[in-house]
Chain A
Amino acid sequence: MRDVIIIGAGVIGSATARELSRYDLDVLVIEKESDVCEGTSKANSGIVHSGYDAMPGTLKARFNVEGNLLIHKLSKELDFPFKENGSLILALEEEGRKGVEELMERGIKNGVPGLRIVEKEELRQTEPNVSENAVCALYAPTGGIVCPFGMNIAFAENAADNGVGFIFDTEVTDIRKEESESGDIYYKVTAGDEVYETKIVVNAAGVYSDVMHNMVSGKKIHITPRKGQYCLMDKTAGGYVSHTLFQIPTKAGKGVLVTPTVHGNLMCGPTADGADDCEDTATTEAGLAAVMSRGSLSVMNLPRVTITSFAGLRAHEDGGDFIVGEAQDAPGFFDAAGIESPGLTAAPAIGVYLADLISGKLGASEKTDFIATRKGIPGVAEASDEERAALIKEDPLYSKVVCRCELVTEGEIRNAITRTLGARTVDGVKRRTRAGMGRCQAGFCLARTVPILAELLGKSEEEIEKSGHGSYYLDGKIKETL
């Protein structure tokens, strides 16, 4: 019998695993995809919200504000890219001023520090490219930008370093509530070909969290996947704005954001389209056009240098708030369901909250040998010449550039594959090192990354996949079919 099974290795599952790994518990994370951070966690705005948006008293408000504080701290302890660049919520017409004032009031109630209203002149000084139509803005200094992959991966690696088990490519297909002879409730979780017995289940299954919950609880929940489409722009446009620019919703619709990313690109999005398919992460012509046209409302002459576009699905629960905690009619089954925005920001706070409840319930004690810090992969691109020279001296492969656009070396790629919970797919390497994320979008480095993966994983190049489950690149040798 295990202590805890966590379903899903997204940012919520991984944050919870990391917090649970402080305790003397047997924890296993089961993930249906080939890597951590493969669902909603990989395709979102990468924003660390300050917490003015959610209604006071909601779980969204609480975990947002707590999560924001935690990310400031954890980004240093777990070495993932985060920048407190501040958020500006723009009123793009005089009517929007009321919305700005409402948000400020709400933010103060939620405990968001430093909020103030910035008038047109100051706004233009801090953001010279802001739209002429912006009359004022709410300034939230604690808003930030984070690498969503980097944070998720850091949580998972640190959890694994502290003894949490992870299994991938394994889908949970059944969960049954059972009662032992002594009357204790436990669960039988069917995943792949195995049935795991566990005292506690954490449901961090993203857009599938209703499916998991409804297997054991009579109090049904319902998730609607909501598609958000984004355009990511070239680094030449990365400095176009320095803050994250939101829009006060107008009659024309809910706004999109224009933001620098923590890696120096410019990003615009998301749309909010209803989707009925939990796997439908396809972008649409109309969606991408809407992203750019709505983004153009926030800034003058939005640069049109898209290098890639993508869509993610947010898990919207009918009730509108996060569902976090023990299911009423299923003791030991803990939900983290309906985690849509501001879920990325909230993740570490949800992790702490659930770990407290679960460790309390199990009467677990804290480990004495908990490893609180984790070191990321050294990045040659952002290192100083002195740091570069030192890295190369230690391992000459840090001089061998594989990804030219993002200046990623073979040393970094090998590190990404061989470290704790290392990359096993090309996307895994990409999300750990940024190889292939630049303006040529892996046109050059793909053929250099695949052989390194093959060598270190002991596979043939034909077996290397983009993201698992049949996403192969190479289809045999030339002339084989002739």
Chain B
Amino acid sequence: MAEIKKDLVIIGGGPAGLAAAVSAAGEGVRDILIIERDIRLGGILNQCIHNGFGLHTFKEELTGPEYADRYIKMAEKEQIPFMLDTMVIDLSFDEATGEKIVTAMNRTEGLFSVRARAVILAMGCRERPRGALNIPGFRPSGIYSAGTAQYYTNMEGKLPGKKVVILGSGDIGLIMARRMTFEGAKVLCVAELQPYSGGLKRNIVQCLDDFGIPLLLSHTVVDIKGKRRVEGVTIAEVDENRKPVPGSEVFYECDTLLLSCGLIPENELTNKLGVKMNPVTGGAFVNESLETDIPGVYACGNVLHVHDLVDYVSGEASAAGKNAAGFLLGKTAPENDGTVINIRTENGVRYSVPSVVRPSFMPDTLTVRFRVGNEFRDKNLSVYLDGKQLMKLPKRIMAPGEMEQIILVKSKVEEIVSENGGSEHELIIRVEDKE
């Protein structure tokens, strides 16, 4: 098996991998390799042909492929090497040398391995399938994840069905409700198990409301009919315990069921590497540098935690690329003084990325992103550091479908930490009632 050496290997050439590569190259890392399993760079953006991408990053509305193209052009300009149609099948850590061993294969090189000083994990995520939802009934054709339907419609120009019910109000499902309507299908409804939508508000307005497609909150599919092809689904209302309410069943005759019930970070390789994982996000635990508990292994984008907006993926990935460059070029912050701030999320806040901050490694401002676990209206978002209230942000609405963020200012954090002394500190993020 052929073996090569690289300073930095980036696994995944989607939005996260590209932004990380461009950023690392900008910092002066030259010996980079992006490994992409698809036949083109850009990842899932290639099939997201709707607009709305790039408002934060480029201050204009781009389609998915246009957004990807911006980053591909930047990567080309930096002459960053990449391999397409190449699958990474194993990832391990050589403790003796500190190198990460990336085993991959493709048609031209066959099976080969790369010894990398640093690795950025940017593998993205996948959709939750029917089986994971335990929907009873038959197992006919015509049940697609929203992303598969999107691939067929947008990449292949083929229609996966003509009369459609969508389960789950994740953003891809909402986008596909509109897309399939455009392409000649009839979308009967979107059913959502939770009492709130899983997607962005703007998508509900632009993809459902504008087309008169009903959103049935607190509803789910309880049966699938059709031995060969979907012939219909039964939808029932659910109670506060998410259990179907007897007698509320309504049968919808349809030939297609699309599922948009959540995304799962694709961390098989991360697990092989033995990185410590966060069961809440399905991604790795990372510190302020987006570094996992294995030195020189960084994670960013949807493989770390599922994002709503690609702009935030790019931002996070740029930070990961910059930090990996710091690691490789020895430009890291002053000696780590051993001070750590553990971030605790509670009272409605489910997780945060990062989960640990070492103040000496912080940039001047550090973005901490997180999600809430329920819909909250007119609440405060409070942040405490060592018991001292750092922020109290009034929020009109917070929902699980919309990622939240706070920005920590290094100078302020260091001030409180040094006042209190000691090496272990705690930052708490929580939802609180307004006085």
A→B interface (CB under 8 Å): 231-232, 279, 281-285, 287-288, 305-310, 385, 388-389, 392-393, 396-397, 399-401, 404-405, 407, 426, 439-444, 446-447, 461-462, 465-482
* New A-B pairs, 5, CB < 8 Å, besides A388-B105, A472-B141: A307-B131, A308-B129, A466-B141, A475-B255, A477-B158
Q: A446-B148, A462-B158, A474-B152 are in contact. Are A285 and B107 (CB under 8 A)?
A: no
Evaluate contact between B87 and A401: CB separation under 8 angstroms: yes
Q: In the complex, which residues of chain A have a beta carbon less than 8 angstroms from the beta carbon of B137? A: 282-283
**Contact mask for chain B residues 1-43; partner A; CB cutoff 8 A; 1 contact, 0 none:** 1000000000000000000000000000000000001000000
B265 contact set on A, CB distance < 8 A: none
Compute how far the CA of A194 lies from the CA of B22 in the bound complex, rounded to whole angstroms: 67
Interface flags for B100-117 (1: CB within 8 Å of A; 0: not) read: 000101111011000000
Partner of B159, one of A306, A442, A468, A480: A480
Are A479 and B151 in contact (CB-based, < 8 A)? no
Q: Any chain A CB within 8 A of the CB of B183?
A: yes
A469 neighbours in B (Cβ, 8 Å) = 228
B141 & A473 in contact (Cβ 8 Å cutoff) = yes
Q: Quick one: which of B107, B129, B155 has the most chain A CB within 10 A?
A: B129
A399 in contact with B105 given A285-B136, A478-B159 (CB within 8 Å): yes
A80 to B147, CA, bound (A): 34
Contact A440 B141 (CB under 8 A): no
Taking CB atoms, residues of chain B closer than 8 Å to A405 are: 268
The 6 closest A-B pairs by CB, nearest first: A308-B131, A441-B129, A466-B141, A481-B184, A478-B183, A399-B105
Question: Chain B contacts of A385 at CB under 8 A?
Answer: 1, 103, 111
Beta-carbon contact of A282 and B136 below 8 Å: yes
User: Taking the complex as formed, is B153 at the interface, i.e. its CB lies under 8 A from any CB of chain A?
Assistant: yes
Q: Which residues of B contact A282 (CB under 8 A)?
A: 136-138, 223-224
A475 touches B131 (CB 8 A): no
The distance from the CB of B180 to the nearest CB of chain A, in whole angstroms, is 9
Residues of B90-136 whose CB lies within 8 A of A: 103, 105-108, 110-111, 126-127, 129-132, 134, 136
Q: Give the docked Cα–Cα distance between A388 and B155 (Å).
A: 31
Q: Main SS of the interface on chain B?
A: mixed
A282-B136 Cα distance, complex, nearest whole Å: 7
Distance in angstroms between the alpha carbons of A305 and B1 in the assembled complex: 36
Q: Are A472 and B159 in contact (CB under 8 A)?
A: no
Choose one: A439, A441, A475, A478; the contact of B157 (CB below 8 Å).
Answer: A478
Check A309 against B159 for contact (C-beta < 8 Å).
no
Chain B contacts of A310 at CB under 8 A? 139
Cβ < 8 Å to A, chain B residues 49-96: 85, 87, 89
A-chain residues with CB within 8 Å of residue B106 when the two chains form the complex:
399-400
Assuming the A-B contacts A385-B103, A388-B111, A447-B156, are A404 and B87 also in contact, with contact meaning beta carbons closer than 8 angstroms in the complex? yes
Q: Are B107 and A309 in contact (CB under 8 A)?
A: no
Contact: A470 with B229, CB < 8 Å?
yes
In the complex, residue of chain B having the shortest beta-carbon distance to the beta carbon of A469:
B228
Which of A307, A309, A470 has the largest count of B CB atoms less than 10 A from its CB? Answer: A309
Contact indicator B129/A477 (Cβ below 8 Å): no
CB within 8 Å for A285 and B105 given contacts A307-B129, A392-B110, A474-B160: no
- Is A471's CB under 8 angstroms from B141's CB? yes
Give the residues in chain B near A462, CB-CB below 8 Å: 158
Whole-angstrom distance between the Cβ of A109 and the nearest chain B Cβ: 40
User: Is B227 part of the binding interface, using a Cβ–Cβ cutoff of 8 Å?
Assistant: yes
Contact of B126 among A397, A444, A473 (CB under 8 A): A444
**Cβ contact within 8 Å between B103 and A471:** no
Residues of B within 8 A of A426 (CB): 141
Hey, which chain A residues are within 8 Å of B134, CB to CB? 231, 288, 306, 309
Shortest distance from the beta carbon of A464 to any chain B beta carbon, whole Å: 10
Q: Are A443 and B37 in contact (CB under 8 A)?
A: no
Chain B proximity of A91: nearest CB distance (Å) = 30
Q: Is B400 an interface residue (CB 8 A)?
A: no
| Interface contact A479-B183, CB-CB below 8 Å | yes
Closest CB-CB distance, B311 to chain A, in whole Å? 25
User: Mind listing 14 A-B residue pairs with CB under 8 Å?
Assistant: A306-B134, A385-B1, A392-B110, A396-B108, A399-B107, A400-B85, A401-B37, A405-B268, A426-B141, A439-B129, A440-B127, A440-B145, A444-B148, A447-B148
